[in-house]
Amino acid sequence: MKKHFIFFDLGQTLVNEWNFIEYFDNVFLNTLNDFGSKIDMRNYRAVRDNIIISRKIGQGEYTQELIIEVCKLISQHGYDRIIAKKLEPEIRKARRRLLRLFEDTIQTISILSKNYDLGIIANQSDDILDLLKRSNINHFFKVNVISSEVKMKKPDLRIFLLAMDRAACKPEDCIMVGDRLDTDIHPANELGMKTIRTTRSLFKLQTPLNELEQPTHSVVDLSSIFDVVDKHYKI
């Protein structure tokens, strides 16, 4: 039987962003209030979560898109770009300082690589590759397709097609693992890939809006992927 190719999203799938998200939320909230918004954390999170649930962000860098959408709702016109530009350097530094792998990432990737070919399809800036190198797991991935490098972003089907072309595999022989229904699961299902959703992400707030957003399988964390692939895709 042909070996399956497993593609992974990065943010909140392999990479733990929770500390960064907490830091960003606090910095962004303080900046909003400096610009006259007068909003507390509870109401900010309600606005943020509604933006995620309603799919208003999804084709760019999470923080930049969120800044624009939140400012549209609670700030004066024109503040969105000003705040985004103001926070960009601080966000870049915080990403490098606070992003890290989930505790089960290295072991999961190491074990899976023994029986499956692995790759990455992710909407991320170039700095994420530095994290993979520093963590010494970059060598496990035969294909890396990062939006900032290929100038395409999920859910654009072309970024998935490019990854499969580089991997020399067909959709039916591929599994996409990601946390987002709109940018990971939907396009992968549309192309005929199998899909595994991880649900320890902020985007667990999303619920399927249609059949294409329904993952083939769902797991809480990466280590649970072993049971899925061994049962359904064992070589």
| Residue 59, pLDDT above cutoff 80 | no
CA nearest 119: which of 225, 196, 220, 9? 9
Residue 199 CA to residue 180 CA, distance in Å, equals 9
3-state secondary structure (DSSP) of residue 58: coil
Q: Of 119, 70, 118, 107, which Cα lies nearest the Cα of 222?
A: 107
Lowest mean pLDDT among 16-20, 128-132, 191-195: 128-132
Q: What is the dihedral sign for C-alpha 65, 69, 71, 72?
A: positive
Q: Which 3 state secondary structure label does DSSP give 140?
A: helix
Tokens of 162: 């490019």
Position with higher pLDDT, 98 vs 235: 98
3-state secondary structure of 139: helix
Place 232 in a pLDDT band, splitting at 50, 70 and 90.
confident
Confidence grade of residue 111 (pLDDT, cut at 50, 70, 90): very high
Q: What is the pLDDT of residue 2?
A: 62
pLDDT classification of 172: cutoffs 50, 70, 90: very high
Residue range 3-35, pLDDT digits in tens = 789 999 999 999 999 999 999 999 999 999 999
Residue 213 has pLDDT above 60, yes or no: yes
Cβ neighbours for 60, distance < 8 A, ≥ 6 positions apart:
123, 153
Is the pTM higher than 0.85? yes
Helix (H) or strand (E) holding 219: strand 217-219
pLDDT at residue 121, as a whole number = 97
Alpha helices in the chain, H assignment, sequence order: 18-34, 41-53, 62-74, 79-98, 105-112, 127-134, 147-150, 157-167, 186-191, 225-232
What's the pLDDT at 46?
97
Region 129-152: what's the mean pLDDT? 92
Please report the pLDDT score of residue 57 as a whole number.
87
Do 191 and 171 contact (CB within 8 A), yes or no?
Answer: yes
Q: DSSP string of 97-128?
A: HH-EE-TTHHHHHHHHTTTSEEEEEE---THH
Q: What is the CA radius of gyration of the chain?
A: 18
Is 90 exceeded by the pLDDT of residue 58? no
Looking at residue 234, its pLDDT comes to 67
